[in-house]
């Protein structure tokens, strides 16, 4: 399998050059479900490129990609779960905070993950049971406690119904941790947790392609990840995400429960 993983990384890096060579004229931005949920011609182009390259490597696998045409069912338990450009709004605005995220699952278990930030040439990878890496060097979550933690908040911009609990939890975190941040790429926020740049990240609603690869990178780096109610992540449907180092995961879930009770009383 090591050769396969190396070939997946080569494909992900090549997809990164499509992002770096993008032109404003070529983006052809259009709305998907709302003015918050946009897509470009490059999202579709990167997805087509990856679907062709990855299925050539593992022809029996299924494929689940974010963009139209990215659904391919298979009798095999192997499935690629792909976000061709995670952080599409950032890409549209040239904020240089987007990535390509490729997860490889066997059934409901992630076996391999690769997240590539082409702007900083940072390739995060993880193989189940074999650790997590940044450009080949081992990475590990921090050992910082919540009082001194930096925490990413995800604002679930495609889902206005998530606003009350998102900002109730963000307020509790702001009162408890060192500070909060919002970056707009779930996969990169998970990788920042994995390499100890920040201590935790949450978002009330994401799709499997946002977190499939990053979830394995977090756990293989010694972190913990679940839904905000503590249940296991789902890779067959949308769910919330709570990722953190070993010291901050339980406090994050406790604050989420308090925020849920608070918003249900309002
Ligand atoms: C985005 C996530 C981000 C979330 C957005 C969106 P996309 O992924 O990375 O964290 O807040 O709603 O899901 O759509 O840019 O691939």
What is the distance in A from the centroid of ligand 1 to the CA of 257?
A: 23
Ligand 1 in reach of 40 Cβ (< 6 A)? no
Give the residues across from 80 on adjacent strands. 63, 104
Note the pLDDT tens digit of each residue in 161-175: 999 999 999 999 999
227 close to 203: Cβ distance less than 8 angstroms: no
Ligand 1 in reach of 66 Cβ (< 6 A)? yes
Q: What is the mean pLDDT of residues 184-213?
A: 98
Q: What is the predicted pLDDT for the residue at 4?
A: 97
As a whole number of angstroms, the distance between CA 65 and CA 235 comes to 12
Atom of ligand 1 nearest to the CA of 159: 12
As a whole number of angstroms, the distance between CA 168 and CA 260 comes to 8
Q: Which two tokens stand for residue 84?
A: 């061709």
Half-sphere exposure of 145 (CA within 13 A, CB side): 2
Q: What percent of the chain has pLDDT over 90?
A: 94
For residue 266, is pLDDT > 80?
no
Note the pLDDT tens digit of each residue in 1-54: 899 999 999 999 999 999 999 999 999 999 988 889 999 999 999 999 999 999
For residue 209, is pLDDT > 90?
yes
Note the pLDDT tens digit of each residue in 42-89: 999 999 999 999 999 999 999 999 998 889 999 999 999 999 999 999
Q: What is the predicted pLDDT for the residue at 1?
A: 83
Note the pLDDT tens digit of each residue in 239-251: 999 999 999 999 9
Q: What pTM, to 2 d.p., does this model score?
A: 0.97
Report which of 166, 191, 176, 174 is spatially closest to residue 263, judged by C-alpha positions: 166
17-128-228 Cα angle (round to 5): 90
For residue 190, is pLDDT > 80?
yes
What is the distance in A from the centroid of ligand 1 to the CA of 90?
A: 9
CA 136 to chain centre: 19
3-class secondary structure, 200 = strand
Ligand 1 in reach of 70 Cβ (< 6 A)? no
What is the distance in A from the centroid of ligand 1 to the CA of 3?
A: 30
Beta strand 30-34 pairing with 137-138: unpaired
Note the pLDDT tens digit of each residue in 110-129: 999 999 999 999 999 999 99
Ligand 1 in reach of 84 Cβ (< 6 A)? no
DSSP for residue 158:
T
Atom of ligand 1 nearest to the CA of 66: 16
H or E element in which residue 229 lies: none
Q: What is the predicted pLDDT for the residue at 105?
A: 98
Report which of 261, 198, 195 is spatially closest to residue 228, judged by C-alpha positions: 261
DSSP for residue 246:
T
As a whole number of angstroms, the distance between CA 217 and CA 105 comes to 13
For residue 217, is pLDDT > 80?
yes
Q: What is the mean pLDDT of residues 200-225?
A: 98
């Amino acid at each position: 399998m090591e050769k396969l993983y190396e070939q997946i990384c080569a494909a992900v890096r090549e997809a990164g050059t499509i992002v770096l060579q993008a032109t404003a004229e070529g983006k052809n931005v259009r709305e998907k479900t709302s003015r918050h949920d946009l897509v470009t011609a490059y999202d579709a182009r990167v997805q087509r490129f990856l679907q062709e390259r990855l299925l050539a490597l593992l022809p029996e696998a299924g494929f689940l990609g974010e963009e139209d045409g990215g659904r391919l069912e298979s009798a095999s338990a192997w499935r690629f779960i792909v976000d061709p450009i995670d952080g599409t709004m950032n890409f549209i605005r040239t904020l240089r905070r987007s990535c390509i995220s490729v997860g490889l699952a066997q059934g409901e278990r992630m076996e391999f993950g690769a997240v590539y930030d082409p702007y900083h040439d940072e390739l995060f990878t993880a193989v189940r049971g074999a650790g997590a890496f940044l450009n080949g060097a081992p990475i590990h979550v921090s050992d910082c406690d919540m009082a001194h933690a930096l925490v990413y908040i995800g604002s679930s911009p495609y889902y206005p119904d998530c606003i009350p609990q998102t900002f109730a939890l963000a307020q509790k975190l702001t009162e408890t941790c060192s500070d909060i941040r919002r970056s707009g790429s779930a996969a990169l926020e998970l990788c920042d947790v994995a390499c100890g740049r920040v201590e935790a990240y949450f978002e009330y609603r994401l799709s499997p392609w946002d977190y499939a690869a990053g979830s394995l990178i977090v756990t293989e780096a010694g972190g913990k990840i679940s839904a905000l109610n503590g249940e296991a992540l789902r890779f067959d449907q949308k769910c919330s995400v709570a990722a953190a180092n070993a010291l901050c995961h339980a406090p994050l879930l406790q604050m989420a429960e308090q925020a849920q009770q608070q918003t249900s009383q309002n």
